[in-house]
A and B are shown apart, each in its own frame.
Chain A
């Protein structure tokens, strides 16, 4: 169970964790709202890698892992659509997509 075709589970998890951290860094540090969105997508891909790897190694007999991953795809698509719509609406108002320029509201 711990190794399929000579390949253990751990490398998948390490890659997924790396992908997640890169995505999180991108989402928190980038100056462009579209890049932030790309960071979130990267994090969602890391989750899917996790889910599929866990499904194959831990629970290959139930379809739960596959279904979970499919739902994550759908949510990712919906989230990207809504995110881009909001970015366009911000761009029309402010002529910029830099999150740091979004400071109309002050204490």
Chain B
């Protein structure tokens, strides 16, 4: 075994975006430290966004190489000693994380939290590194390490406003729940290691297929699933979300609710089918459990998220429950993926691609929603529904952007959120037809009913902005240029992505296919 093999240098392409981001995070810290006092926060935020764009550009040649490997020899996809799988699936998720982080960096410029300096932006970049590795991880060890890299950075970001009670509370709550659930996941991983004697997913799966200790396998699967459910804020591990989102700096809350949730789906959708494989030739005892649990989890998560969101007076808490509800919709796709895995590749690909597509649209939309809420909180002094009163007169464009993202979260037809929901429900219905399984029809019926419920709370914001009047109605609301750009990009994305639905859907399908090579 050698430590350095020049012929394998090209394997580093698999983690090229992460390499760029780590270097950039260190550069941001150094820049902040070395430049004379008075380095503007605006410059730091814009530099961070530029670095993220650099990482996004770095994804392109790497993803093309991955695609060419996939076409010639899929066994070459597992690289770096088996730690990482070099596939389009990982790169599609990296795109979500990087775009989410770049928008968050721009939105943060105007916020009090970010004034603390370069460490805020460095932590944001390191969290993105952790998420990218989560999506690519092909090894129990890297799975845990990457998850913790992302989580520990996010704990700090959530508690970043040290002088604010709410933020300190959000930080410690996120930390306590996160640390306990990730350790439970790790305990499960230690049993998976013990039952197989290996850490690389493919080897683990081969050995687990020979094992017959069904009880221990099921037990370890449930322990590992706790970590996934926490990350995706799925019932019954969703109760941290409202408190953390409300207390955390608003751009950070937007980032946790989108990129971190996407990262949770990324690790879940790779680990479960790879390690607890339900494929008959490779059957691992206990894999039926994760397939069976997705439908009840989807139902519970949709119900809890939507019903709890109705009664909130604080917009950030409403958005927190709404993001739980959105996870519920995505779990319908996950359930379809689980039910068809190993039996019908077309259905599996469609369901997985629908989840990835939904995550892309949801990330754009939700970061926009949190950004507008953050601007209102910053300028008006609160983030309750009443603080949105008169926004249509104080800042018509901001109000319009908020209408666009709310309607897209709702899934109203001309916006991109509709396409996401349509593709998800279509994949569920075709699973129902293909496997003669009426459960999926009822899932879609429930989801549509829940979308109708969500009209109440999404439109409450719109009503507050357009029908209620505030005392200082005539006073325009100031928004600084980079933040306006970020919000504009989100709103533009929500509307204009419609024109790019076909390429995006093809990308999501290619990503889904690459997972199953």
Find B162's partner among A36, A58, A92 (CB 8 Å cutoff).
Answer: A92
Docked Cα-Cα span, A104 to B166, in Å, equals 7
Contact A87 B172 (CB under 8 A): yes
Contact A59 B197 (CB under 8 A): yes
The tally of residues in A whose CB lies under 8 Å from a CB in B reads 46
Contact A44 B186 (CB under 8 A): yes
Distance in Å: Cβ of B95 to nearest Cβ of chain A: 27
The tally of residues in B whose CB lies under 8 Å from a CB in A reads 41
CB-CB under 8 A from B176, the residues of chain A are 27, 33, 36, 99
Contact B148 A78 (CB under 8 A): yes
Docked Cα-Cα span, A20 to B296, in Å, equals 28
Interface segment out of the listed B7-15, B137-145, B259-267: B137-145
Contact B165 A93 (CB under 8 A): yes
Distance in Å: Cβ of B144 to nearest Cβ of chain A: 7
Distance in Å: Cβ of B342 to nearest Cβ of chain A: 27
| B240-265 near A? 1/0 per residue, CB < 8 Å | 00110011000000000000000000
Contact A83 B148 (CB under 8 A): no
Docked Cα-Cα span, A89 to B156, in Å, equals 11
Distance in Å: Cβ of B173 to nearest Cβ of chain A: 7
Confirm or deny: B411 has a beta carbon within 8 angstroms of a beta carbon on chain A: no
CB-CB under 8 A from B370, the residues of chain A are none
| B294-309 near A? 1/0 per residue, CB < 8 Å | 0000000000000000
Confirm or deny: B425 has a beta carbon within 8 angstroms of a beta carbon on chain A: no
Is the contact region of chain B dominated by helix, strand, or loop, or is it mixed? helix
Distance in Å: Cβ of B202 to nearest Cβ of chain A: 14
Docked Cα-Cα span, A39 to B141, in Å, equals 22
Q: Which of chain A's residues 87-105 have a Cβ closer than 8 Å to chain B?
A: 87, 89-90, 92-94, 99, 102, 104-105
Distance in Å: Cβ of B218 to nearest Cβ of chain A: 16
Docked Cα-Cα span, A92 to B391, in Å, equals 36
Distance in Å: Cβ of B444 to nearest Cβ of chain A: 30
Find B190's partner among A27, A36, A54 (CB 8 Å cutoff).
Answer: A54
| B144-175 near A? 1/0 per residue, CB < 8 Å | 11001000100110010011111011011101
Confirm or deny: B317 has a beta carbon within 8 angstroms of a beta carbon on chain A: yes
CB-CB under 8 A from A83, the residues of chain B are 175, 179
CB-CB under 8 A from A13, the residues of chain B are 194
Confirm or deny: B392 has a beta carbon within 8 angstroms of a beta carbon on chain A: no
Confirm or deny: B187 has a beta carbon within 8 angstroms of a beta carbon on chain A: yes
Contact A90 B199 (CB under 8 A): no
Contact B180 A28 (CB under 8 A): yes
How many CB-defined contacts (below 8 Å) exist between A and B? 126
Contact A94 B312 (CB under 8 A): no
Q: Which of chain B's residues 173-198 have a Cβ closer than 8 Å to chain A?
A: 173, 175-176, 179-180, 183-184, 186-187, 190-191, 193-194, 197-198
CB-CB under 8 A from B165, the residues of chain A are 93-94, 104
Contact B317 A107 (CB under 8 A): yes
Docked Cα-Cα span, A44 to B246, in Å, equals 30
Docked Cα-Cα span, A40 to B243, in Å, equals 21
Known: A68-B193, A87-B172. A44 touches B163 (CB 8 A): no
Confirm or deny: B437 has a beta carbon within 8 angstroms of a beta carbon on chain A: no
CB-CB under 8 A from B194, the residues of chain A are 13, 50-51, 53-54, 58
Find B169's partner among A40, A50, A102 (CB 8 Å cutoff).
Answer: A102
CB-CB under 8 A from B183, the residues of chain A are 23, 40, 43-44, 47
Known: A62-B198, A104-B166. A90 touches B193 (CB 8 A): no
CB-CB under 8 A from A67, the residues of chain B are 141
Confirm or deny: B311 has a beta carbon within 8 angstroms of a beta carbon on chain A: yes
CB-CB under 8 A from A39, the residues of chain B are 180
Contact B312 A107 (CB under 8 A): yes
Docked Cα-Cα span, A82 to B197, in Å, equals 32
Docked Cα-Cα span, A64 to B83, in Å, equals 11
Contact A64 B173 (CB under 8 A): no
Q: Which of chain A's residues 42-81 have a Cβ closer than 8 Å to chain B?
A: 43-44, 46-47, 50-51, 53-54, 58-59, 62, 64-65, 67-68, 71-72, 75, 78-79
Other 9 A-B pairs with CB < 8 A, given A68-B190, A86-B171, A86-B175: A27-B176, A33-B172, A40-B183, A54-B197, A64-B199, A78-B152, A82-B152, A83-B179, A93-B168
Q: Which residues of chain A have a CB within 8 Å of any CB of chain B?
A: 13, 20, 23-24, 27-28, 33, 36-37, 39-40, 43-44, 46-47, 50-51, 53-54, 58-59, 62, 64-65, 67-68, 71-72, 75, 78-79, 82-83, 85-87, 89-90, 92-94, 99, 102, 104-105, 107
6 A–B contacts, CB within 8 A, in A order: A68-B141, A68-B193, A75-B148, A89-B159, A92-B162, A93-B164
Q: Which residues of chain B have a CB within 8 Å of any CB of chain A?
A: 140-141, 144-145, 148, 152, 155-156, 159, 162-166, 168-169, 171-173, 175-176, 179-180, 183-184, 186-187, 190-191, 193-194, 197-199, 242-243, 246-247, 311-312, 317
